[in-house]
Structure 1
Amino acid sequence: MKKIKSLSLLFATFALFSCTSEKRSESATAATGDQPENSTLLLEGNTLDQWQMYSQDSIKGWSLINGELHASGAGWDANEDIITKKTFANFDLSLEWKVAPENSSGIFFYVQRDSDQPIYESAPEYQVMDDKGWPQQMKPNQYTAANYAMHAPIGTEVKPAGEWNTTRITVNYPHVEHWLNGVKVVEYDFGSEDWENRKASGKWAEVPNYGKAKSGHIGLQNAGKVVYRNIKIRQL
């Protein structure tokens, strides 16, 4: 009888330890912005099979070298932006990027490919740029990790040009979070009073469908010279 009680106590202790460890792991993930392992690689097999151009039939301006996706730096209005073939609604996206000195780019979600607008008017943007080396003063909501021209990031620690940064974007509609190097720096809700006021008084006031979609493609802008790697997404 004593042996059975001892075994029961041992199993109960093990179960409690396992549960506690799992909760600690979940807490650590939330605190650092790390993404769970059950994600889909969007550069799997070192190919661009999961990608297409936003406004062209064949991929142009991008090269994939040893798992790293290089943008040529064609410019904001060169129409050489790339998007996923699949669309996503609620998701957890993570990737690494590094940018050349005095260059900028952007990461988009909820992109609507049929739009006749440039990609930056089609979808919300997570800004990517050389904050420290940019040659002119920008508005607070135009620097790295901003919800571009809408929400300024708070507490960003951007690594210098040429060094890898880690980005994470989580969307559980209508809630959105921007993470940079393990720190949550932007948080907002589509359609909220704050969102509508910022849109009405800012850059997107004359773009009626901006931020209205509830699903769409992931997009990468070929504006400046930037390199991406380890692009992963998990649908929520």
Structure 2
Amino acid sequence: MRTLLCSLALASFVSAAEPVYLTLADFTDTKDAAPSGGWTTEGDNTIHLTGKGGGSLISKNDYTNFELEWEWKLNAKGNNGIKYWVTKVGGKEWLGIEYQMIDDSGHPDGLRGGSHTTASIYDIKEPVKDKAVKPAGEWNTSKIVVQDGLIQHWLNGALTCEANTTTPEWQEMIAKSKFKNKEGFAPGKGKIMLTEHGDETWFRNIRITAK
């Protein structure tokens, strides 16, 4: 019952604030420099990552509770993602919770299944098995909703993965993940990251509503 109520609370979360569209001007690289090396802007609010070399980008602002929506597509065998609550863990690594974006049927990591597939909480929790993901080369629509420690990943209008980061169950999942020894991982506030895994990616109409 508690899980159901939490889900309903998140689903009904509506901020009074207006969504803000994010452009390359709202991000820097991890050394606080302007985006370069393959990150470009195209028409219709599209950020295009041409491939390897650009490095991941982090938002200038930090966020706690928010709703983040965007459209994206990858080439065949592509892999990328958006991370949130990103902080510099151990004074050296920029880490956060990742919404996985990947060619499930073509990339080796996607073929592993489970928490390495599209819309998963990467390496922590797998999405529903009947998710409506579109194939490589086509636009998908995604959404992340975060409210008081509750997180949801949506894909093409459907809830696909959710977790409560305030519970012992979350800590158990972290303990089984690659982040188990990363003290300070996902502290409940941090930056948004557009990752760069060396594959061409398009992000369109990125918009965030902070609460």
Per the normalisation by structure 2, the TM-score is: 0.84
Aligned length: 197
Give the corresponding residue for 2:117: 143
Residues 72 and 170 (structure 1), Cα distance of their counterparts in 2 relative to 1, 3 Å cut: same
8 Å CA contact 1:127–1:142 kept in 2: the answer is yes
Superposed CA deviations along residues 65-119 of structure 1, whole A, max 9, x for unmatched, are 1121111322xxx671012111111001100000111010110111125864443
In the alignment, the residues of structure 2 paired with residue 73 and residue 114 of structure 1 have an alpha-carbon distance, to the nearest angstrom, of 26
Residues 220 and 176 (structure 1), Cα distance of their counterparts in 2 relative to 1, 3 Å cut: same
2:35 equivalent among 40, 59, 74? 59
Q: In the TM superposition, what are the counterparts of 1:170-189 in structure 2 within 5 Å?
A: 170-189=145-164
8 Å CA contact 1:55–1:80 kept in 2: the answer is no
> Is 1:132 the counterpart of 2:100 in the alignment?
no
Q: In the TM superposition, what are the counterparts of 1:175-214 in structure 2 within 5 Å?
A: 175-211=150-186, 213-214=187-188
1:105 equivalent among 80, 84, 88? 80
8 Å CA contact 1:141–1:153 kept in 2: the answer is yes
Give the corresponding residue for 1:92: 67
Structure 1 runs (4+) greater than 3 angstroms displaced:
33-37, 113-119
Report the aligned-residue RMSD: 2.5
Gaps of 5+ in 1: 1-26
8 Å CA contact 1:169–1:179 kept in 2: the answer is yes
- Equivalent position amino acid for 1:220 in 2: L
> Is 1:38 the counterpart of 2:18 in the alignment?
yes
- Which protein has the bigger helix share? 1
Superposed CA deviations along residues 28-48 of structure 1, whole A, max 9, x for unmatched, are xx59x99999311112xxxx2
> Is 1:70 the counterpart of 2:45 in the alignment?
no
Gaps of 5+ in 2: 1-7
SS in 2 for 1:123: strand
Q: Percent identity?
A: 28
Give the corresponding residue for 2:195: 221
8 Å CA contact 2:114–2:126 kept in 1: the answer is yes
- Structure label with greater radius of gyration: 1
Per the normalisation by structure 1, the TM-score is: 0.76
Superposed CA deviations along residues 42-69 of structure 1, whole A, max 9, x for unmatched, are 12xxxx2211112352312311111211
